[in-house]
Amino acid sequence: MASVRFDNVTKKFGEFVAVHDFNLEIRDKEFLVLLGPSGCGKTTTMRMVAGLEEATTGDIYINSERINDVLPKYRDVAMVFQSYALYPHLSVEDNIGYPLKIRKVPPEEYKRRIGEVARRVELDTMLKRLPKELSGGQRQRVALARAIVRTPRVFLMDEPLSNLDAKLRTQMRAELKHLQHELQVTTIYVTHDQIEAMTLAHRVAVMNRGVIEQLGTPREIYNDPRTLFVAGFIGSPAMNLIPGEVKDGVFASAGLRVGGAGRISIARAVLGVRPEDVHAASAEDPDVNLVASIYSVELTGENTLVSLQLGGRLMTLRADKNFAGQIDQRLGVRIETDRMFLFDAETERRVDF
Amino acid sequence: MATIRTRSRTREMLLRLSAYLAILVALILTLFPVYWIAANSFKFDIDIFAVPPEWVPRNPTLKHYDEAFVQRPFLRYALNSFLVAIGTTVISVTFGTMAGYALARFSYPWQWRKQISFWILSTRMMPPIVSIIPLYLFFNYFDMLNTKSALIIAYTAFNLPFATWMMKSYFQDLPVELEEAAIVDGDTRWGAFVHVALPLARPGLAATAIFCLIISWNEFLLSLVITLTEQSQTLPIGIAGRVTQYSTYWGEISAAGFMACVPIVIFAFLVQKHLVRGLSLGAVKG
C-alpha cells in the first residue's frame, strides 16, 4: 500500500540539470512507466525514490512520509537494475535471500519464502548455482525474485528487459505485467522502449530533458499527444511530422493541402498524422490531399508500409497487406482530417482546432 | 596444400620450442641464485669456494643452520621480521582498503578526490632515505628506538599509500550497482562494503597483502637505522651482520638467506588462488 509523490523536485549534477521542477503522483498499486530517450532524467528520477541519488531541491513522499532524508534501507523499496546487479560471489539462493538475511528473517520463514519465490520465477532447480552459470533470462529472473522475495512498498525497475533478446523480452514483458497485477505493488518502471511503455503501463509519463512532456494512459498518449516530442516519440513507425503553414484552417506544405482545421492560422506549423490515418488512393481521385511518387514499399506481414517522397522528406502510410504499388509509381493520398494534429513549431505544443 | 600444412606445423613446433627455451633461460636466471644459496648452506666452508664449483653438495651438513639458528640469534631475527611484516601488512591492508574504498566510491566537493589521491601518492615520491633522519629523531623523541613498533609504524607509512592506491583502483573496477543493489535491498553502506565489495575485492586484497609483506620482509635501510638490539633487529640486518671486519660467514648467510625465502614462498602459494581474477565475471550483463 503506497503512493509516491514528487513535489517540485529538481536534481542537478554540477551545472547540469537532470530533472527539472518535477511533479508527479504515482497512485497506490499503479504501474507507472517513465518513458523517454536516454539522458532525459528518467533513471535519475527513479534513483531518487530508491535513495541512490539525493534531490537537490523539492520533496519526495511515500504515502505521507517525506523520504528525502530517509536512508535507503528504511524506504522499503525494491529495485531491479538494468544490469541485474546480481552478487557474483553468492549462489542464486543467497542472492534471492539477501534482503531477508539483512532483515534477519528467521530460518524457516527464510526457506519458505525463497522456495515460494523461486517456484514462481521457475528457478527452484537452480538455487545452488552461481550467477555466472545462468543464462541472461535466468539472471533476469533472479533479479526479479530478489525484488519480490519481500513485499516492498514500491518496485523500481530500471530497463529490466533491455538486455534480453527480442523473443524473451516479449515473454518476460507479459510475465512482469501479470506479476504486478498479482502482487498489487506500486511500480515505477523506466524504459526508452515505447512498446514496453504502452503494453505495461497504467499510466505513462513521457519525459524529455528533465521534465514530463505528457502524463496519461497509453491510449491518451497515443491518441492525444500534447507536444511535438510526444507525437514523434510514440508510435512505430513514427508519426509523420510535416512542417508548413496554416492559413484559415488550411495546412499547406510543398505539394500538400489539408483543410478542416477550423479557422486558425499559424505561421510556422507542423502537421502530424499517423501512418494508419493516411490512406492510399488513386492519383486521379479529385479528393486526394496529395499526389506523390512511391519511394519504397515494405511488407511487414500484417500490412504494408509505403513511403512517399514529399519535398525533401518521406511520408509513411500503412496500407493493406495486399497493396500492389511499385517504387516510383504516382500515388494519391487521403488524410483523415479528424485524426490529424497541428503543432506550433515555435512552442512545440499542440494547437487545438 | 599438404606441404603447406606440414611446413606450418613445423613452424609452429619451432615457435613453441623457442618459447619454452626462452622460459627455461628465464627460469635458470631466476632460480639459480636461490639454488646456489640453498646448496651453499649445506656445504662446509671449504667446499663453498671449491674450484671447479661443487654444483651439488658432496658432504651435506647442517652445521651452518646450527650456527645461525642455534648458536646465533637468527631465530629471534626471523621472529622479529615475522611480527613486523605481519603487523605492517595487517595495518596497511586494513586501512588501505578502507581509504581506497572511500576514494573510489564517495563523492567529494571540487576536485578533492584527485587532490587527496595525489597527496597520498606523493608521500612515496621521495626516496625513503630522505626521511631517515626525521624518523630517527621522531622515534628517539618518543623513546621508541630499538622497538618493533617503530619498524611497524615506519613500514606502514611507506606501504599504506601503495595499499590505498591498489585497493582504490581495484574498487573502481567493481561495478557500483552491486553495492547499490545491496543498499536498496536494505543494507547499510558499511554492510554493502563488507558483504559485497570486500568479498569481490579478494584478489586485490591478496595482491596488496603480498606486496606489503614482501616489502616489509625485505626492508633493510630503515631497520638498519632504527634498530640496534637483538630484540628488535630483523633478518636482513642479521644476515648483513655476518659480513664482518675479519670474515664473511657465507655458510651462515646462505642458511639464513635460504630460510628467509621460505615464508614468503609459502604465503604466495597460499594466496595465489585468490589472485586469480574473474571473480566478478557474470556480475552484470547477461
Per-residue confidence of chain A (353 residues) as pLDDT tens digits? 799 999 999 999 888 999 999 999 999 999 999 999 988 999 999 999 999 999 999 999 999 899 999 999 899 999 999 989 999 999 999 999 999 999 899 999 999 999 999 988 888 888 999 998 998 889 989 999 999 998 899 999 999 998 888 888 888 899 889 989 988 999 999 999 988 999 999 999 999 999 999 999 999 999 999 999 999 999 888 999 999 999 888 888 877 888 877 788 888 999 999 999 999 888 888 888 888 899 999 998 889 999 998 878 889 999 988 888 889 998 998 898 888 999 999 999 998 87
Instruction: Establish if B195 belongs to a structural domain.
Output: yes
Q: Which of A209, A232, A255 is the last residue of a domain?
A: A232
Q: Which SS3 state, helix, strand or coil, does residue A31 take?
A: strand
CATH number, domain of A21, equals 3.40.50.300
Domain for residue B135, yes or no?
yes
The answer to whether residue B278 scores a pLDDT higher than 60 is no
Please give the C-alpha separations between residue A261 and each of A250, A275, B193, B240, B273, in angstroms, as whole numbers. 6, 19, 62, 100, 75
Task: Specify whether A97 is located in the same domain as A214.
Answer: yes
Chain A interface, best mutation among B184, B277, B279, by max A CB count within 10 A: B184
In a domain, B61, yes or no: no
* CA atoms of A251 and A244, how far apart (whole Å): 7
The boundaries of the domain holding residue A257 are 240-351
- Cβ pairs bridging A and B (under 8 Å): 86
CATH number at residue B249: 1.10.3720.10
Question: Tell me, what amino acid is at A271?
Answer: L
**Is the domain of A67 the same as that of A205?**
yes
Q: Which residue of B has its CA nearest to A156?
A: B184
Q: Residue B194 above 50 pLDDT?
A: yes
B266 falls within a domain: yes
Is the CB of residue B109 less than 8 Å away from at least one CB of chain A? no
- Chain B contact set for A79 (CB, 8 A): 180-181, 184
Do residue B14 and residue B147 come from a single domain?
A: no
What is the distance in angstroms between the Cα of B85 and the nearest Cα belonging to chain A? Answer: 30
Q: Does pLDDT of B42 surpass 70?
A: yes
Locate all alpha helices (DSSP H) within chain A, ordered by sequence: 42-50, 92-102, 107-120, 136-148, 166-183, 194-200, 218-223, 228-233
Place of cell 516479449: A170
- Note whether A61 and A5 are within 8 A (CB): yes
Q: d(Cα B69, Cα B79) in Å, to the nearest integer?
A: 11
Residue A204 grid cell: 505513462
Q: Are residues A295 and A180 in the same domain?
A: no
What is the total count of domains within chain B?
2
What does the alpha-carbon distance between residue B183 and residue A78 come to, in Å, rounded to a whole number? 10
Query: Which domain range does residue B141 map to?
Result: 72-275
Are B21 and B117 members of one domain?
A: no
Residue A122's pLDDT is 86
Q: Do A78 and B199 touch (CB under 8 A)?
A: no
A96 and A153 assigned to the same domain: yes
Helix (H, G, I), strand (E, B) or coil at A257: strand
Per-window interface: B 192-221 vs A, CB < 8 A: 195-196, 199-200
Cα separation, A142 vs A314, in Å, equals: 45
Nearest-CA residue of chain B relative to A160?
B285
Quick one: A280 and A215 in the same domain?
no
A85·B178 Cβ contact <8 A = yes
Chain B residues touching A146 at Cβ < 8 A? 181, 185
Edge-to-edge strand order for the sheet containing A313-319?
A: A278-281, A330-335, A290-299, A304-310, A313-319
Instruction: Clarify whether residues B190 and B252 are in a common domain.
Output: yes
- Ramachandran region, residue A278 (left: φ > 0; alpha: ψ -120 to 50; beta: rest): beta
Listed residue (A135, A185, A137) closest to A32, CA to CA? A185
Per-residue confidence band for B6, with pLDDT thresholds at 50, 70 and 90: low
User: DSSP labels for A202-235?
Assistant: SEEEEEETTEEEEEE-HHHHHHS--BHHHHHHSS
Q: Do A71 and B188 touch (CB under 8 A)?
A: yes
Query: In this structure, what DSSP letter does residue A103 have?
Result: T
Asked if residue A258 lies in contact with residue A337, where contact means CB atoms within 8 angstroms, the answer is yes
Whether residues B156 and B209 fall in one domain: yes
pLDDT of B286 > 50? The answer is: no
Cα separation, B94 vs B28, whole angstroms: 37
Chain B hits for A71, CB-CB cut-off 8 Å, are 188
Q: What is the mean pLDDT of residues B241-250?
A: 89
Q: Which of A84, A135, A156 sits opposite B284 (nearest CB)?
A: A84
Closest CA–CA distance from residue B276 to any residue of chain A (Å): 14
* Same-domain check for residues B99 and B6: no
Do B157 and B24 belong together in one domain? no
User: Looking at the structure, do residues A224 and A273 belong to the same domain, yes or no?
Assistant: no
Looking at the fold, whether B218 and B137 belong to one and the same domain comes out as yes
Indicate if A216 and A309 belong to the same structural domain.
no
Question: Tell me, what's the pLDDT at B282?
Answer: 41
Does B186 sit within 8 Å of A73, measured CB to CB? yes
Last residue of a domain, one of A173, A204, A232: A232
User: Are residues A224 and A293 both part of a single domain?
Assistant: no
User: Which residues, other chains included, contact A187 with Cβ-Cβ below 8 Å and sequence gap of 6+?
Assistant: A30, A31, A32, A154, A155, A156, A157, A180
Residues A68 and A168 in one domain: yes
Is B36 in the same domain as B86?
Answer: no
What mean pLDDT do residues B146-168 have?
Answer: 92
Cα distance between residue A328 and residue A192, in whole Å: 35
Distance from CA of B199 to the nearest CA of A (A): 7
Cβ contacts of B282 on chain A, cutoff 8 Å? 86, 88, 130-134
Q: Are strands A31-35 and A186-191 parallel, antiparallel or unpaired?
A: parallel
Pairing of strands A250-253, A77-80: unpaired
Q: Are residues A202 and A97 in the same domain?
A: yes
Is B136 a residue whose pLDDT tops 90?
Answer: yes
Same domain, B132 and B172: yes
User: Among positive and negative, which fits the CA dihedral A143, A149, A152, A155?
Assistant: positive
pLDDT at B5 (0 to 100): 59
- B226 within domain boundaries: yes
CATH at residue A332: 2.40.50.140
B167 to chain A, minimum CA–CA distance in Å? 19
What's the total number of domains in chain A? 2
Is the backbone of residue B128 left (phi > 0), alpha (psi -120 to 50) or beta?
Answer: alpha
Q: Is residue B247 located within the same domain as residue B126?
A: yes
Query: Under an 8 Å CB criterion, which residues of A touch B?
Result: 50-52, 71-73, 77-79, 81, 83-89, 98-99, 102-103, 130-137, 139-140, 146, 156, 163-164
Both B44 and B83 in one domain: the answer is: no
Q: Tell me: do A320 and A180 sit in the same domain.
A: no
Question: Do A72 and A182 fall into the same domain?
Answer: yes
Residue B102 counted as domain residue: yes
Residue B163 and residue B34 in one domain = no
- Cβ neighbours of B175 in A, within 8 Å: 83, 85
Q: Give the integer Cα–Cα distance in Å for A62 and A76.
A: 10
Q: Where a domain ends, among A214, A232, A250? A: A232
